[in-house]
Every structure is written in structure tokens, then in C-alpha cells.
Amino acid sequence: MTTPVYDVIIIGSGPAGLGAAFQLSEHSPALSILMIDRERICSGGLLNDCKQNYTYPIGFAADNWTRAEAERLLPLVERQLQPIIKDKHNLEVYRRRAERLGVTLLDIRQAHVGTDRSRILIQRLLDELDMRGVQFLLEQEVIDVFDDSNGTGAVIKNGQTLQARKVIVAPGRKGFHFLQRVMEKMGITYIDNVVDVGIRIETRLANYPIVKDYYDPKFQFPEGVRTFCTNSGHARVVLERYQGFSLVNGHALSEAQAGNNLVNFALLKTIGLKAPVRSGQQMAVFLATLANEIGGGKPLMQRVGDFRMGKRSTAETFNEDLYDFPPSCPVTAGDLGLAVPAKIMRHIWAALKKLDTIVPGVLHPSTIMYYPEIKMYANKPVFLDRYFRVSTNVYMAGDGAGTSRGITGAWASGIRAAEGILQGS
Ligand SMILES: Cc1cc2nc3c(=O)[nH]c(=O)nc-3n(C[C@H](O)[C@H](O)[C@H](O)COP(=O)(O)OP(=O)(O)OC[C@H]3O[C@@H](n4cnc5c(N)ncnc54)[C@H](O)[C@@H]3O)c2cc1C
């Protein structure tokens, strides 16, 4: 029996992979396309919370995109995801307050699906691709990609080798070790110089009422600090598990669900590393490992009231008196000051104080700060063309390859890689 040679293999069924599959199957229905994912359902932000931002630059990596390029593709993303764009209110009030403090409030077109409904959206997308003849190989991990004298293709963990004319590699952030291994083996030069480090805030909805006016308000503070991924209604802080450590993140259920009246969001500081530091990824791992070490194998949480007094939070007092709501993600009560580098903490705290002037109440003593929330975007390959091609027949796209930082940007990146294949680049 001869093994088939697919026209295109797509590794990863997250938004980058889906964007590529939709574009390819729409413009060239005869192509044989195989999508491979190590999970049964894609594991990134399309599944978790699924907030979609339809305004540049949110979700796009600026060094790979121009506004015009993003704005050309965002309507195509919108056509497939069919978002219900949320209304915003009172923006001018918040904007005026922000501007007085040197803070920018971006006006972003947003939609929110919620973790309880995202599976329905994903299923609709997969069914549509299935109808177009796209094939799926799920719960199978790819361990290698090749593009050499033996041909082009991917190797699955069970030892099976799959051949293709073209391969799109889109394994997301969790695929960073895999991607790095592939790039090193294929001799693809990459840089890894940016990392976002920050904390996740959790507070009562009453302390951050702006979310009723603007679901995920995007504030940009001085010193490279920004708000990121705000969740409200029925919102929870969650753990993201990696080898050897956990990070925090957040999500919310759809508006149809009863609320727990909590809100959470991240305050992240972007750090651009310069020589001699070699790797943003490594820095992230060191910081996360330190925090998890101090937390006895878990992230840390501290009440703002304790932080202000310069004392650690403790398990015994974490829920007493003024600290009037239990954490949605009970990790280790402790002292962020021991784990967060001083410069990062200083800039984040300065941003929080400004935010408390724009939206008074967010620095209530009960507000919880969780750490670490770290975004590892690294492993940016040196692309051979504007279609994210890295070798004759292989393309790398999405968050793992540093071309995006969110669902819509990842989807648009997948479209760009597909355009390269369709144009025969
Ligand atoms: C908890 C959480 C919540 C988030 N919430 C949002 C949000 O609300 N809005 C937003 O815009 N962004 C959100 N994000 C970020 C968002 O997930 C990413 O920006 C986006 O999903 C990137 O798309 P991608 O296709 O590049 O990667 P992913 O969506 O991560 O998809 C990559 C896929 O590749 C698969 N894979 C990885 N390695 C292999 C391998 N070796 N073999 C086979 N398959 C592999 C993975 O299982 C995964 O399904 C969130 C992220 C997390 C972790």
C-alpha cells in the first residue's frame, strides 16, 4: 500500500491552522489537506474564553504586520468566525481620565464567546472544513518536520511518516519546544528576544465596573505595561501547566451564565531583551520556576491590602474581614515582592495606581494579585518571504512562530501562509 502524499499538512488546529485550512479549501477545493493536532480539540484561546479582537494592533505582532495588511485580512477572519460585536459605552469619560495620566485607552471592536460556548463554535468550524473535504488526524503528536532530499512532511509520535507537498506548522505557544527542535534540526535561524511578564488581577466586579461599558478595556501605560485579557461575569483565574511550573491565566463563561461577580485581567510588561541575554523563553522559565519554587510548586497570590503594608499574605488571613471574596484559583498565599523582578513590579504597580485613578476601586485591599502570568512568544524564525515561509516547502505561523498574539492575528497569519501556498511561493 502506498502512503498518500497530501497537498498540504497543517500541524495545529488552533486559529492559525484553521485560518490556513479555510483559505486553502475555499480557493482551491481540490487540494488534499490534512490537519493534525495532539489534542482532541484545539487547546488555545479559541477554546478558552474566546475573546476576539478585530482592531489592529491587538493580537498582531507588529514586526510582521502593517496596519494595511492586518486590515485586509481581518474581514476574512470575521467572515468565518461570525462574531457578535459588543457595544461600548462612556469611552470618552475613561479616555479623558486616562489621557491626563499619560495612558492610552484603545477603542477595539470585540466579541466574546465564553468557554462554555466555544466548543460549539469550534465544532461548527470543523464540520465546515469536513464538508469541504479537509481530513483530520487528532490526538496525534507531531515530533518532526522535514523538507529535504527525502521529501517534505511530518513524523508522528507513533513513528508514522506523512508526506506532503507543503507543510504549515502552527503549534501555538505550548508547542514552543517542538518548534524550536524543528527549527534547530532544519537549520532555520530564529530569534527569541521578547517576553511579556506580569500579574493577573482578580477583584469584585463592583471594584472594576468599566467592564460593563467595555468588555476587555485595552489600556496602554508608560514603560511598556498594558492591560490584557479581561474576563468578567462568570470569570475565573486558571492555571496553565507547563513542564515543571504553572502560570496563571483567566477566562469567563458566556453572558448567558449566572455571574460570580468577579473580574480578572492581566497587567503585562513587555520586555525586549538585548545581548548578552540569549533567550526570552529561558528568562520566562527561570522567572516562572522561581515563583513556583517560592509557592511550593504553585503560583503565588497576594491581597493588595497586604502588599501595600509590605507584608506577605498568609493562608490563615487570606479571607478575613476586608478580604471579602475567596480566590477563584486558590494558589499559595505569599509575597510577590520575593518573586517578581523589582523593575517589573515597580512599573506594574505604577500602572495599577494610574488605573485606580481612571477606574476608582480596583486597588481595594481585597483585590488579589496572582503571579506569574507570562507570555512566551519567542522562537521567531527568520522568514524567507511575507508568507511566513521558512524553507522551500514549510511555513510557520501563529503564536508559536511569533506572528500573532491572539485569535484573530493567528487566524490572519494562517491565511497569509495559505496565500503563499496558493500563489506557489
Ligand atoms: C487559557 C488561554 C486563554 C486565552 N484566551 C484568549 C482570548 O480570549 N482571546 C485571544 O485572542 N487569545 C486568547 N489566548 C491566546 C490564544 O490562545 C492564542 O493567541 C491563539 O490561540 C494562537 O493560535 P495558534 O493557532 O497559533 O495556537 P493554538 O491556538 O495554541 O493552537 C495550536 C494547536 O497546536 C497543537 N499542537 C501543538 N504542538 C503540537 C504537536 N507537536 N503536534 C500536534 N499538534 C500540536 C495544540 O494542541 C493546539 O491545539 C488565550 C490563551 C490561553 C492559553
Ligand 1 pocket, mutate which of 43, 108, 155, 251 (most atoms under 8 A from CB)? 43
Q: Packing angle between helix 342-358 and helix 91-100, nearest 10 degrees?
A: 130
C-alpha 42 to ligand 1 mean position (Å): 7
Q: What residue has cell string 507531531?
A: 142
Residue 200 Cβ < 6 Å to ligand 1: no
C-alpha 207 to ligand 1 mean position (Å): 30
Q: CA-CA distance, 231 to 375, in Å (whole number)?
A: 17
Instruction: Provide the grid cell at 85.
Output: 460585536
C-alpha 356 to ligand 1 mean position (Å): 32
Element (H, E) at 420: helix 407-422
Collapsing DSSP to helix, strand or coil, 376 comes out as strand
Cβ neighbours, 10 Å, residue 127: 10
5-86+111-190+379-422 CATH: 3.50.50.60
Show pLDDT as tens, one digit a residue, over the chain (425 residues): 567 899 999 999 999 999 999 999 999 999 999 999 999 987 777 888 899 999 999 999 888 999 999 999 999 999 999 999 999 999 999 999 999 999 999 999 999 998 889 999 999 999 999 999 999 999 999 999 999 999 999 999 999 999 999 999 999 988 888 998 999 999 999 988 788 999 999 999 999 999 999 999 999 999 999 999 999 989 999 999 988 999 999 998 877 677 889 999 999 999 988 888 778 888 999 999 999 999 999 999 999 999 999 999 999 999 887 888 999 999 999 999 999 999 999 999 999 999 999 999 999 999 999 999 998 765 789 999 999 999 999 999 999 999 999 999 999 999 999 999 999 86
Q: Is the pTM of this model over 0.75?
A: yes
The ligand 1 atom at the shortest distance from the C-alpha of residue 15 is 25
C-alpha 317 to ligand 1 mean position (Å): 37
Residue 299 Cβ < 6 Å to ligand 1: no
Residue 231 Cβ < 6 Å to ligand 1: no
Residue 83 Cβ < 6 Å to ligand 1: no
Q: Is 420 exposed, middle or buried (0-12, 13-18, 19+ CB in 10 A)?
A: buried
Instruction: Provide the grid cell at 322.
Output: 476586608
Kindly list the domain boundaries of the chain, sorted by start residue.
5-86+111-190+379-422, 194-375
C-alpha 45 to ligand 1 mean position (Å): 5
What is the DSSP code string of 88-137? ---HHHHHHHHHHTT-EEE---EEE--HHHHHHHHHHHHHHHHHTT-EEE
